Amino acid sequence: MQKIIVQRDLCDGCKDCERSCEALHGTSRINIIEFDGSYYPILCQQCQDPACEVICPTGAMTNTGIDSDKCIACGLCSLACPFGSIIIYDKSSEKCNRCADRPEGPACVQACSKRAISLVDTDKLVDKKREEYIAKIAGKSNKQNKTMLNVLTSGSRISKAFED
């Protein structure tokens, strides 16, 4: 599954992503909020079992988008969203759908000059993290970490560590 991932430490609050989303959809489906000197992006997380979909009385809401013909703009989805990412605009609910209809990908990703926003295949990311972890515990990591764990897991180093 693909998700929009934001590295908030790279975000400078320029709001180019908001402007590009608004130009495409009429309203921004991503919002950058400043808090205590840091910037936090608010956008739909495409939950696996979304509260917005469960509470929607018309069945307009799905985890990947909104059927605007069915939406009555009651606002229940907005109240149920744990991230606050659903807004009511022009008599319909709006939330990020990762620009599913654009072959070039999400507008916010393309607009971000700092590359703080990216579209990531989470399954591949999880597989990569597992491989890195296995390489690390097998002692085949490219990183040369001098930790106590590496000392204790290497039979040849154990005796030397205890002799010193």
The structure's pTM equals 0.72
Convert the pLDDT of each residue in 82-131 to its tens digit.
Answer: 999 999 988 899 999 999 889 999 999 999 999 999 998 888 989 999 99
2 near 121, Cβ under 8 Å? yes
pLDDT of 46 reads: 87
Confidence label for 161 from pLDDT (cuts 50, 70 and 90): very low
Q: Which domains does the chain have, with CATH numbers?
A: 2-121 (3.30.70.20)
pLDDT of 143 reads: 56
Q: How many residues are given for the chain?
A: 164
Separation of CA 44 from chain center: 8
Beta-bridge partner residues of 157: none
- The percent of residues above 70 in pLDDT, for the chain, comes to 85
CA distance 11 to 33: 11
Convert the pLDDT of each residue in 58-68 to its tens digit.
Answer: 999 987 789 98
Does the pLDDT value for residue 154 go beyond 50? no
Does the pLDDT value for residue 151 go beyond 90? no
Place of tokens 């908001």: 18
3-state secondary structure the chain: CEEEEECCCCCCCCCHHHHHHHHHHCCCCCEEEEECCEEEEECCCCCCCCHHHHHCCCCCEECCEECCCCCCCCCHHHHHCCCCCCEEECCEEECCCCCCCCCCCCHHHHHCCCCCEEEEEHHHHHHHHHHHHHHHHCCCCCCCCCCHHHHHHCHHHHHHHHHC
104 near 111, Cβ under 8 Å? no
